[in-house]
A = this chain, B = another copy of it.
């Protein structure tokens, strides 16, 4: 693995943080989990040709890998602690590694997730991130816990990332899209926002939570199934960005929101007596029953899933 020592140059500067006692360079890293907290942990792989293609800039790959992993911490209501990276790559390409490290560094910094360890190996390109966070016991947010009468809420705008991916793939070349809008929509795919701050704010308020990685309808179904309830979603209430509506119209924008993936926004349920936090939209209610009901569900069948 001699030549892989070069990695140290790119990654060892990302390893310091408030809770880090020992970072990259020994057999393991050491972190302090604050008192009266549970450790929250999640692992996510990004594999070439399964999760991304080789035309994704390494900066974007690095940023997006961290943000999507951090999003799982957000969905649990956890504060960030640190992460490890297992990087497998066919050759050591300095320019590519420089780009990757820039993207990782930006996300490490933004999400307060120091890179404390990992493994670099030769093989087909993939990144596996294990993110660690902490949360007071009994406050972690689960998919179970949604109760009849709760409101269904989401953060941000949905569907932008799925459409942004299609723009990147050249599927909308005929469409005239405002330059700034296009930039914004693509960036929602390449630079999703993990809602760590929101996750922490709602952990004493929400009854259940999940992050939207597979599309609103699918992820809402996970909450419904885990909680043994039905989530009734009003399509008219789903937050859509003006950029997405301007690009494809409201009807198709809605389909991206319902079925597109990789938004990395939070979907959560709020008991009736709790104020709705800022930057959050109520899109439905929790009913008795099972599964997800949405007034436009049936029309989505003809659409492909975009991930």
Contact = CB atoms under 8 A, between A and B. Distances in A.
Contacts of A144: 26
Contact of A72 (B28, B43, B86, B143): B28
Contact of A76 (B27, B49, B86): B27
A121 B27 contact: no
Task: Tell which of A28, A33, A49, A135 has the most Cβ of chain B within 10 Å.
Answer: A28
Nearest to A140: B30
Contacts of A226: 25-26
A75 B121 contact: no
Interface string A120-132: 0111101010101
Contacts of A35: 35
Contacts of A126: 88, 123-124, 126
Contact of A40 (B30, B85, B137, B140): B30
A142 interface: yes
B121 A41 contact: no
A32 to B, nearest CB: 6
B140 A50 contact: no
Contacts of A124: 47, 123-124, 126
B47 A28 contact: no
Interface stretch (A111-119, A156-164, A233-241, A243-251): A111-119
Contacts of A123: 45, 47-50, 124, 126
A302 to B, nearest CB: 19
A255 interface: no
A29 interface: yes
Interface in A1-43: 21-22, 25-33, 35, 38-43
A29 B43 CA distance: 10
Interface in A49-75: 49-51, 72-73, 75
Given A33-B33, A86-B128, A128-B128, A119 B45 contact: yes
A140 B226 CA distance: 40
